[in-house]
Structure 1
């Protein structure tokens, strides 16, 4: 759980490299807890600020810097989750977790570098796909923190209890409740190859403005949710039904004849990216069941597209 270093006399001195080596794990943890890379980066920055604000003797007294950093970051996230619902109630339109590209596509959004620091990248696995993150949004802050720390990062319930401020038994119940939510939301498994093929067919039908082909790929009760954050024109409410989604997709394609649609990995699963003039303006994530698309999450809020906005590599 932690990295240590020390001189030959056995006196523990946390080195800069040992402390900073925790950065990527903290980014991974905070993104899963908050669903926002920008917020995750702020949490990690605040965590390190608190570490370096301590005098050296207090740092040396901490037996496990990694555990200390994790505890502080988790508690900051817990506080943020408590206020997030109020903030998102004021959010214009639907709120969707921030989409992440494949590691090879990750860009910084800064003018001084083309690619992001690997320490700032989030490891893409099943705990990061959009459907999973959306279910996490339905949990209480304590459920979310207990579940992510125990089930994803493998912390014991005793360790989770110290972070959350509850008993190990209570944390076990929180994680169990979260697990039930996850199981209830899970659709029958579709292989990555099947997903990629269906998303590719959706892309081709979208480019061809073929409403019937789009409808055939969508579950009759499919839902599409768009997030523009009030900064770009987008649907403010979910679009329900295959035909309604297909017609909306064709309408969007007709408004932007120069739109380039690319197949890309979005949060570890096949997705689509739309570009104008080489700049990513839309990222779409998909959920499937029985070879049909059941849910589409469309992110157009520019603030959530920072890792994509220097242009997606061909």
Structure 2
């Protein structure tokens, strides 16, 4: 086996881990693939003969690529009140996909990814690489151009933001029960039953992209969210329970055409967050071929 074959084999083995890093950094499955591909190009062009830990080297390369992508995204994006829901990882219930298992290894739900979207690029990188992938600050610091102590502070600020806005979800069996009750109440148009399932401070985030018939929005409060849920009553018969980022979720697909993916955060038997992706362009790039089965 020559050096190029060896590198290709090592890279292939590390690819799922590298995509997991990039997905947490970018919240986009397609951009995560782009970042991993760029890491391969850089590996191909680099002399790694003196690299002792190739997996660690590749992780830092993906981190650098993602940091550049986040900074570019931030400079392009104008100030907007529009809500952006990260790409969901959708699975059929009862199936095991090895790549999805790696992506969801630490149960990174949509609600957590939404919080990560609010962090600055350097904060996000420090938190993801240290808290989620256990890279030491000494290795992260050169990527962000800070000292290890300053990088530690970046991660600490990010950690406080995450801990203050995320909650530990119920076990999957309880989540499924609540989502089943949500679907039943939506189909029946039962406003009071919907309110009873929702935490008083529940937040609904809907990202419809440029779809004119469903503007992106954020709605807070049980009665307000229940009222919003009733507007989708006519589509509820086409809802199918799936796993969204490892938790209970719903895909709605009238006539086999995916209309939306909904991820739920459920704590203490109550729905505390609902994240909806209804952007047709982004939905078309998700692997949802099993919906028609």
State the TM-score, normalizing by the size of structure 1. 0.82
For the residues of structure 1 that align with 2:100 and 2:112, how far apart are their CA atoms?
A: 21
Question: How do 1:240-255 and structure 2 match up within 5 A?
Answer: 240-254=220-234
Question: How do 1:194-205 and structure 2 match up within 5 A?
Answer: 194-205=174-185
Aligned to 1:112: none
Corresponding position: 1:81 with 2:50: no
Which of 175, 181, 189 is residue 161 of structure 2 equivalent to? Answer: 181
Give yes or no for contact 1:227–1:236 (8 Å, CA) kept in 2: yes
Moved more, 126-135 or 59-68: 59-68
The 3-state SS of whatever aligns with 1:15 is helix
For the residues of structure 2 that align with 1:263 and 1:75, how far apart are their CA atoms?
A: 37
Moved more, 187-196 or 145-154: 187-196
Question: How do 1:1-314 and structure 2 match up within 5 A?
Answer: 14-54=6-46, 58-89=47-78, 93-102=82-91, 122-187=102-167, 189-231=169-211, 233-254=213-234, 256=235, 259-305=237-283, 306-312=285-291
Q: What is the CA-CA distance between 1:25 and the residue it aligns to? A: 0.9
Q: What is the CA-CA distance between 1:91 and the residue it aligns to? A: 6.8
Q: What is the CA-CA distance between 1:249 and the residue it aligns to? A: 2.1
Give yes or no for contact 1:232–1:301 (8 Å, CA) kept in 2: no
Q: What is the CA-CA distance between 1:285 and the residue it aligns to? A: 1.0
For the residues of structure 2 that align with 1:214 and 1:104, how far apart are their CA atoms?
A: 24
Specify the structure having the higher radius of gyration (Cα).
1
The 3-state SS of whatever aligns with 2:232 is helix
For the residues of structure 2 that align with 1:242 and 1:289, how far apart are their CA atoms?
A: 14
Give yes or no for contact 2:88–2:245 (8 Å, CA) kept in 1: yes
Q: What is the CA-CA distance between 1:27 and the residue it aligns to? A: 0.4
Give yes or no for contact 2:91–2:244 (8 Å, CA) kept in 1: yes
For the residues of structure 1 that align with 2:53 and 2:220, how far apart are their CA atoms?
A: 50
Q: What is the CA-CA distance between 1:59 and the residue it aligns to? A: 3.9
Q: Which has the higher helix share?
A: 2
1:136-171 CA distance string (max 9 Å, x none): 112221111111111111111112223332221112
Q: What is the CA-CA distance between 1:119 and the residue it aligns to? A: 5.1
Q: What is the number of equivalent residue pairs in this alignment?
A: 292
The 3-state SS of whatever aligns with 2:258 is strand
Please list every run of 5 or more consecutive structure 1 residues that lacks an aligned counterpart in the other structure.
Answer: 1-5, 107-114
RMSD across aligned positions (CA): 2.9
Give yes or no for contact 2:140–2:148 (8 Å, CA) kept in 1: yes
